[in-house]
Structure 1
Amino acid sequence: MTRYAERTEVSSEKSRSEIEKTLRRYGATAFAYGWQGLEATVMFELADRRIRFAIPMPDPADGQFVLTPTGRERSQAAAEKEYEQAVRQSWRALALVIKAKLEAVDAKISTVEDEFLAHVVLPDGSTVGDWVAPQLQVAYSQGQMPALLPGGGS
């Protein structure tokens, strides 16, 4: 199976700009992006919520860029080109996800909370997804709701 936009020629900068324009069009009141290490971050405010997407970026030192699918070694320039392609693909995928979520909200198929809940930033800087994921694991492994979730348990 091929990955979405795996051969895109759209630059990362153009995808970020497209994300920002899309967010403006759908009513976002703030936008920011940055990166640290192998993670890029996009944040925006929408419907009185701060929303953050953390996007894992490919590791340029990863062997997948050094070798071709047939196992032949790429030149440094070719490896860098493959790495940049993977970065462009990640940004295109994020642009697609955000646009699809916003369109679903605009079409009344869904709500901002339903589409972005896992990415809503909590007062301590974590996201709802960061907070819920461990509790979800406990709920599934024990077959019951953790005591910390209101209305849960038996």
Structure 2
Amino acid sequence: MRSNYIRGASVTCSASQAEIQTMLASAGATGIRFASERGKTRITFRSGGHHFLLALPAATSDLPHAQEAARRGWRQLSALVQAKLDAVDAGITTFDEEFLAYMVMPGGATVFQAVAPGIAAAYAAAAPPPAAPPGALPTGPP
């Protein structure tokens, strides 16, 4: 995996946040906000009439390690957003498909939060679908 991260180098949290804001704004997102509450940092924005929410978990309570973990977390989140937007730019997927899990539903839960329990229950209640042989293409609707 290729990474812009160089061992020993420190990219500040604010630099990664600025990079994320620039990438999202360039992709047409508006209302981009960063907020911290209950030990999590949240990024909210709008795109295509939808609201989105990404949350970065709190770092460790050990201050020296917390600062490094926060820098690493922001850097990784920046890389994730970049990869998603690169896939959208390449026409591999759409913005809504790439960020679907983070789309906020009426009521405030993300799509992931809304559907994850149902998916877990479905897998617990039934045998999982058979695995396709290596190299086989999926059949049926996507």
TM class, shorter-length: 0.7 to 0.9
Q: Which runs of 5+ in 2 are unaligned?
A: 128-142
What percent of counterpart residues are identical?
32
Partner of 2:81: 98
TM alignment of 1:5-154, pairs within 5 A:
5=5, 7-61=8-62, 80-143=63-126
3-state SS in 2 of match to 1:27: coil
Instruction: Mark the structure with the bigger radius of gyration.
Output: 1
- SS of 1:17 mapped into structure 2: helix
Indicate conservation of the 8 Å contact 1:57/1:90, yes or no: no
Deviation at 1:9, TM superposition (A): 0.5
Q: Distance in 2 between matches of 1:8 and 1:43?
A: 28
Secondary structure of the residue aligned to 1:54 is strand
* SS class of match (2:34): strand
- What is the TM-score with the length of structure 1 in the denominator? 0.74
SS at match of 1:53: strand
Distance of 1:7 and 1:21 partners within structure 2: 25
Q: Distance in 2 between matches of 1:53 and 1:94?
A: 9
Which one scores higher on RCO, CA 8 angstroms, separation ≥ 6?
1
2:138 is aligned to: none
In structure 1, what residue type is equivalent to 2:87? A
Name the count of aligned residue pairs: 124
For residue 106 of structure 2, give the secondary structure of its aligned residue in structure 1.
coil
Q: Distance in 1 between matches of 2:86 and 2:94?
A: 10
Structure 1 residues 26, 139: CA separation in 2 closer, same or farther (over 3 Å shift)?
Answer: same
User: Structure 1 stretches of 5 or more lacking a match?
Assistant: 62-79, 145-154
Q: What code does the residue aligned with 1:124 have?
A: G
What secondary structure is seen at the aligned counterpart in 2 of 1:110? coil
